[in-house]
Amino acid sequence: MHGLLIVDKGTGITSARAMDPIKRALRMRRRVGHAGTLDPFATGVLIVLFGDVTRLVDSLLALPKTYRATVLFGQETETLDREGKVIARADPGTSAPSDLGAALVEFTGEINQIPPAYSALKVGGKPAYQLTRSGRAPELVSRRVTIHGLRVVEDRWPELDLDVVCGSGTYIRALARDLGKRLGLPAYLCALRRTAIGPFAADDGVQVGWKREPTRSAVLAAIRPPLSITRAVGIPELRLTLSQSRVFIRGNTVKMASTHEIGTTYAILDDTGEYLLGIGVINPDGSLRPKKVLPHMVDKITRRSQGPAQE
């Protein structure tokens, strides 16, 4: 089993627990992972990877994430979401501040953001939330994150529904906190749904943690091939001959007959263009160096080979 599955996670379960019904349906216990996490109260897209495809998880980090976030102004909680104790209150007034539009613009693009104290971010080898709960709140350092898009989709002041498109490492809870500070009000995230990761949309996902567990047939029918990852990310493709494929899939450098740009990373396909063999980089001498290979393709390529490999 080697592929990708879009999961639409329900509320009240962790990302790790959301994979349990999938593992049961596929009768798999190992080599199953997910790209990115969602807090238990949040819903929406999780990308689950199986088998050799777990090697490609880093490729998914470049994909933008799209959220529908509901922010409540006038209160702040210790966790910056609805799960925590309220630690601050203020009168939000009867309508949104007049400078809301300007504030949204200020939070678009590359911004500095301090992660929440209650987060899984590692500090000294331990998750920040563990240190915070033990009374040793860590000193978290501001870091650069990217907000590609930020707009109000519904105003029910003191609640706002926001559409957020952001890069990897962005905390929507921290965005709610900081937007509130910019407007002079405490604020927290009271609902969150990740509607998409790149082209992978929640509406196309297998529902987990909703009314019923997914069936084995439903999960099998929804699994996508490894090529769906590299094509979603937009990695250029390079097709090898059958003999070159035999060399590459075993982790060896491939001599190339044609010239390719040095240092370019390619998604490496077999001679049919149907199967992803892995990811490779062009060396200074023009040869192709494997960066990541998908070992399950060894048998398929070997069975199709006729005669000895030619480099």
| Catalytic (active-site) positions | 39
- In 10 A of CB 180, how many CB atoms? 24
Q: Give Cβ neighbours of residue 169 (< 8 Å, ≥ 6 apart).
A: 143, 145
Q: Give Cβ neighbours of residue 117 (< 8 Å, ≥ 6 apart).
A: 78, 128, 129, 132, 137, 138, 140
Report yes or no: 268 and 279 within 8 Å, Cβ to Cβ: yes
Report yes or no: 182 and 103 within 8 Å, Cβ to Cβ: yes
Torsion-angle region of 232 (φ positive above 0: left; ψ -120 to 50: alpha; else: beta): alpha
* Packing angle, helices 242-249 and 297-304, rounded to 10: 150
Written as six digits, the tokens of 230 are 């590299």
Q: How far apart are CA 148 and CA 277, in angstroms?
A: 32
- In 10 A of CB 126, how many CB atoms? 13
Nearest to residue 258, comparing CAs of 232, 14, 266? Answer: 266
Q: Give Cβ neighbours of residue 270 (< 8 Å, ≥ 6 apart).
A: 239, 240, 242, 245, 277, 297, 301
Unique residue bearing structure tokens 């960066």: 291
For residue 122, the surrounding DSSP H or E stretch is: strand 122-123
CA-CA-CA-CA torsion sign (75, 72, 47, 54): negative
